[in-house]
Structure 1
Amino acid sequence: MDLNTVLEVRDARSRVPWRPGDAWLGGGTYLFSEPQPHLRRLVDLSRTGWEPVRELPDGSLELAATCTIARLSRFGRAWGAPAAPLVEQCCRAFLASFKIWNMATVGGNLCNALPAGPMISLTAALDGTCLLRAQDGSLRRVKVADFVLGAGRKDLGEGELLRSVTLPARALASRTAFRQASLYGLGRSGVLVIGALDPADGSLAVTVSAATVRPFRLWFPLPPDRDALRGAVDSAVGADGWFDDIHGLPAWRRYMTLRFAEEIRRELTSGGAAG
């Protein structure tokens, strides 16, 4: 879609002063998908030269905000970490053509903060931390699970930029399980649940997304039984946390979430606790 109110496109490397009507331009798949009448200028991130995927000395993984889904998918297929299969599973949950895959970015998916965003699911499940940069150059860090505040809402100030997401080495060593459901064969995710079992201490993290207005990462020092897991999900999400749109009613989303969470508990704990 043409953005006929945009008067100027600036290179982000020039560090232009932020003003009303500005927007960061990454892949542009959301910006150009619908009218944006409030925009007057785009600040283009495509020439920043940020390395898309970087393995850090401590074993953690840094994903640049400008890393495309296609680039991340290629990396995930060749990566040797125990959690590697989760990368491709979440990329495949992305309802998009190959053209979108080659333009859409990890950062854009997080900053859109849509419940069905699979990069939100991936990075929240692996205990990711966002690095945010303000206009004055100051940096702050916030967990992905806390960065997304609700459907379309995120913890991002005026002119603030999501620079990268870092996934810790300990999470990358986890054994993972993935479940996803949609009402349609090629539909947007209505439910997405990910489990991660830490081999070091046996703790279990269950991350619920797509069915909820924001991601919920539930951590258990020891795998819970069925009833404890069910109670933890219901307590965390609450009555108002289930998303409601044409891709699924809240009751269906809750039912499938609880079903998938139990399947994951059993898969990762070889039957889990009794119950």
Structure 2
Amino acid sequence: MDLNTVQEVRDARRRDTWQPGDAWLGGGTYLFSEPQPHIRRLIDLSRMGWESLRVTPDGGLEIAATCTIAQLSRFPKPAEWTAAPLFEQCCRAFLASWKIWNMATVGGNLCNGLPAGPMISLTAALDGVCRLLSQQGGAREVPVADFVVGAGLKVLEPGELLRSITVPARALRSRTAFRQASLYGLGRSGALVIGALDPFDGTLTLTITASTVRPIQLRFPVPPNAEAVREAVEYAVEPGEYFDDIHGLPAWRRHMTFRFAEEIRRELTEEVGR
């Protein structure tokens, strides 16, 4: 879609004062998908030269905000990353064409802050941490689970830039379980729950996304029973936090969240006890 209010496209390597109406441009798959009447200038990140994916010295993974979904999918995962299947499961949750895969970025998906954003699901479930850069040159780190605070709402300050997401090595060695539901075959996720079992202390983490307006995480230091999981989900998710749109009513999303949480509990904890 043509953005007929945009007056200028600037290279992000050129430092300039942030102005009202500015917007960061990554892959542009969202920006050019619908009218953006408030945007006057696009700051293009495509020439920043950031390494898309980098294994950190301690065995974690740094994902540049400009990394595309295709690059994340193709990246060779080390054999010791037990959580490796989760990457492809979340990439496939886009249910998008190859054109989108080759343009859409991980950072753009997070910064849209949509409940069904599968890169939010992936990086939150693996305890990812966002590195944010301010216009004044400062930096701060925010867990992905705290980065999105509502449907389309993030903790970004005006002009602040998501530089990267770092996933710790410990999370990459977790056993994971993935559950997703949509109202129709090629539809947007209506509920997406991911479980991760810590390889060192056995903590079970459940990350609820898509059904809720923000990521919600539950941690169980000892293997929980069905009642404990149900009570935890009931307590953690306020009734008004179940998302309501054409892709699913809150009651259905709530039902699927409880169902998936219990399925994941059984998959990751009961097998361990055998």
* TM-score normalised over the length of structure 1: 0.97
Report the AA paired with residue 216 of structure 1.
I
1:272 to partner: Cα distance: 7.4
Between the aligned partners of 1:57 and 1:129, the Cα distance in structure 2 is: 16
Aligned to 1:130, the other structure's residue is in SS state strand
Between the aligned partners of 1:260 and 1:272, the Cα distance in structure 2 is: 18
Structure 2 equivalent of residue 71 of structure 1: 71
Same amino acid, percent of matched pairs: 74
CA contact (8 A) 1:265 1:271 kept: no
Would you say how many aligned residue pairs link Structure 1 and Structure 2? 272
Matched, 1:10 2:10: yes
CA deviations over 1:182-236 (Å, ceiling 9, x no partner): 0000000001000000110111000000000011111111121111111111111
Structure 1 equivalent of residue 34 of structure 2: 34
Report the AA paired with residue 74 of structure 1.
R
CA deviations over 1:47-66 (Å, ceiling 9, x no partner): 00101110000111100000
CA deviations over 1:122-145 (Å, ceiling 9, x no partner): 000000100000001100000101
Between the aligned partners of 1:253 and 1:59, the Cα distance in structure 2 is: 36
Q: Spell out the pairing of 1:1-275 with structure 2 (5 A cutoff).
A: 1-75=1-75, 78-80=77-79, 81-270=81-270
Would you identify which runs of 4 or more consecutive aligned residues in structure 1 move more than 2 Å? 270-273
Unaligned runs of 5+ in 1: none
Between the aligned partners of 1:234 and 1:62, the Cα distance in structure 2 is: 34
CA contact (8 A) 1:95 1:186 kept: yes
Report the AA paired with residue 267 of structure 1.
E
1:265 to partner: Cα distance: 0.6
Report the AA paired with residue 178 of structure 2.
F
Aligned to 2:200, the other structure's residue is in SS state coil
Between the aligned partners of 2:146 and 2:223, the Cα distance in structure 1 is: 23
Aligned to 1:186, the other structure's residue is in SS state coil
CA contact (8 A) 1:112 1:152 kept: yes
Between the aligned partners of 2:86 and 2:66, the Cα distance in structure 1 is: 20
Between the aligned partners of 1:268 and 1:201, the Cα distance in structure 2 is: 14
CA contact (8 A) 1:6 1:41 kept: yes
* TM-score normalised over the length of structure 2: 0.97
